[in-house]
Structure 1
Amino acid sequence: MTPRNLIGGHVFVAGGLATGGLRYAADIGAEMIQVFVTNPRGWALSGGDPAEDARLRESGMPVFLHAAYLVNFGSPTVATLENSTAVVRHTLRRAAEIGALGVVVHTGSAVTQPREDAMRQLREHVLPLLDELPDDGPDLLLEPMAGQGQMLCATVQDLGPYLEALDHHPRVGVCLDTCHAFGAGHDLSAPGGVRETLDALHEVAPGRLRLIHANDSKDACGSKKDRHENIGAGRIGAEPFGDLMRHPVTAGVPLCIETPGKVERHRADIDLLKKLRGG
């Protein structure tokens, strides 16, 4: 029997990581959740609340963490590189404390420096973090971007050299964002587009898909824009998400929405994905 895709979303944690997060998960019908444990748009680190950590860990809810948006291991700025290392190390530690399955990190940009230098930095700073991970700890999940600017990884094919730079480390997984992939040029809306994209992912990174960010796109395929839309309300459309869940590469891989709105729209997105899944 094919493993079932759990469907959930990035949740708001007002009132506490577990208190707020689990309440929001119940309100939207989430079967898994993703949360931030630091300010997503800053470098400040939070130690968390041991009681909330324990409650979340004991809830049985599958959890993923998302590292801060500012993280960029390809940056030519020394402070950004140092802060990126500190934030990802901290987020991985927090993930281990709450029993999270993985930490999602954006794959970064070379900004103004040569791509070769940026990839060398990636190797030098990320490999030590991976080697620090406990055997039962979280994996680091690479999230390719939409291709804007000097992004180091956007298309599925870009994962090849990225993984090579990290020695194909066994603790590295992939988080595929459908809006990003569409913006990068993978036409998920076209007949056979989902199959072609996932076949390519399997060829480049077999067995590494751990999480899917299920987001429709406000912009056209190949736009290199990262503007999320609610499921079925954008340029991708609803049906490709059903195709996504029927492909063998995604068997048992959770889908996490990061779509606009709050409770009502998020519940509608999750309900639609469940319908496309078959209940």
Structure 2
Amino acid sequence: MSAVHTPIGGHVPVAGGLATGGLKYAERIGAEVIQVFVGNPRGWAMPGGKPEEDARLRESGVPVFVHANYLINPGSPNPETLEKSLAAIRHALRRGHQIGAGGVVIHTGSSVSQSYEQAMRQIHERLLPVLEEIGEDGPPLLLEPMAGQSNMLCATVQQLGPYFEALEHHPKLGVCLDTCHAWAAGHDLTAPGGVKETMDALVATVGPGRLKLIHANDSKDPCGSCRDRHENIGAGHIGEAPFAELLRHPAAAGVPFVIETPGRDPEPHRKDIETLKRLRDASRTA
């Protein structure tokens, strides 16, 4: 097995400051990597950062990723929503650069009332220029496929293909794979060879090295449900075994795993991270 270290951590609250609150929570749950919001995840406000907090986060040595807000939809036919989405992506990328983030995650979005073809043309015309603005030392933009709800532009890993084509396989483009989303979209990770099939398809679709982050979440619902309801690791329909397989897959070597599992108390998050670390350590000796 590869000796490459795979960091395991979680999405952390930042009450009290991006670094102050985030790093304190990370320590409580044993996180080796963190993901943060840089604004209200359900609002359009784009707050600036505090230089001292940004510096502390950069200097902490803890890898960090940014999750952009949930309202972003680059496929929206509504001009106001589209403009706000593009502004929010630029803001998240700018803040990500300021804190030294390893990537900025956005949901791939929905065509809503327009056709899939129209939405993909719009993504080519409007989102590609945003990628062109990212400097050489700026964070990549990571596309996170959805759970397969109505009019979603991308749910299965194969559907990343047209999305990458629309964005001309830009070098600043990467992927964030959410296990709950993949499961909900129909990737049966519990079937014999299911994890390998999914990961091999991902690499075949977007190319090697594009997977930059994994959201490790179990699911409250059955495979193919198109329902995005996260569960704690091992407590849902996916179970522990597929996560062990995922940790052993070559395409996941060194790719950070971040939990987004339920619970406001740090204890269930600490247990989820401990479970993934146990599976990671076992995979090294398998």
Using structure 1 for the length normalisation, give the TM-score. Answer: 0.99
- 1:80 is aligned to 81
- 1:13 is aligned to 14
CA deviation string 1:77-106 (max 9, x = no partner) = 111100000000011001111100100000
Shift of residue 134 of structure 1? 1.1
- Distance between the aligned counterparts of 1:228 and 1:2, measured in 2? 30
Q: 1:208 aligns with which of 196, 205, 210?
A: 210
- Distance between the aligned counterparts of 1:128 and 1:247, measured in 2? 34
Equivalent runs, 1:14-33 vs 2, <5 Å: 14-33=15-34
Shift of residue 38 of structure 1? 1.1
- 1:39 is aligned to 40
Over 2 Å off, 4+ runs: none
- Distance between the aligned counterparts of 1:3 and 1:126, measured in 2? 33
Q: 2:252 aligns with which of 250, 260, 268?
A: 250
Shift of residue 231 of structure 1? 0.2
Task: Name the SS for the 2:43 alignment partner.
Answer: coil
Shift of residue 190 of structure 1? 1.4
Task: Name the SS for the 1:116 alignment partner.
Answer: helix
- Distance between the aligned counterparts of 2:235 and 2:113, measured in 1? 36
- Distance between the aligned counterparts of 1:150 and 1:61, measured in 2? 37
Q: CA RMSD in A?
A: 0.8
Shift of residue 2 of structure 1? 3.1
- 1:221 is aligned to 223
Residues 197-206 or 23-32, more deviating: 197-206
- 1:230 is aligned to 232
- Distance between the aligned counterparts of 1:200 and 1:90, measured in 2? 32
- Distance between the aligned counterparts of 1:95 and 1:220, measured in 2? 35
Q: 1:266 aligns with which of 252, 266, 269?
A: 269
Equivalent runs, 1:103-114 vs 2, <5 Å: 103-114=104-115
- Distance between the aligned counterparts of 1:74 and 1:2, measured in 2? 40
- 2:280 is aligned to 277
Shift of residue 258 of structure 1? 0.2
Shift of residue 48 of structure 1? 1.3
CA deviation string 1:223-250 (max 9, x = no partner) = 0110000000000001110100100011
CA deviation string 1:19-60 (max 9, x = no partner) = 000000000000000000011001011001111001101111
- Distance between the aligned counterparts of 1:226 and 1:144, measured in 2? 11
- Distance between the aligned counterparts of 2:73 and 2:220, measured in 1? 25
Equivalent runs, 1:160-179 vs 2, <5 Å: 160-179=161-180
- Distance between the aligned counterparts of 2:190 and 2:230, measured in 1? 15
- 2:96 is aligned to 95
Task: Name the SS for the 2:127 alignment partner.
Answer: helix
- Distance between the aligned counterparts of 1:255 and 1:70, measured in 2? 24
Structure 2 counterpart of 1:270, one-letter code: I
- Distance between the aligned counterparts of 2:17 and 2:125, measured in 1? 35
Equivalent runs, 1:188-203 vs 2, <5 Å: 188-203=189-204
Aligned length: 279
Equivalent runs, 1:151-166 vs 2, <5 Å: 151-166=152-167
Shift of residue 205 of structure 1? 1.3
Task: Name the SS for the 1:278 alignment partner.
Answer: helix
Shift of residue 191 of structure 1? 1.6
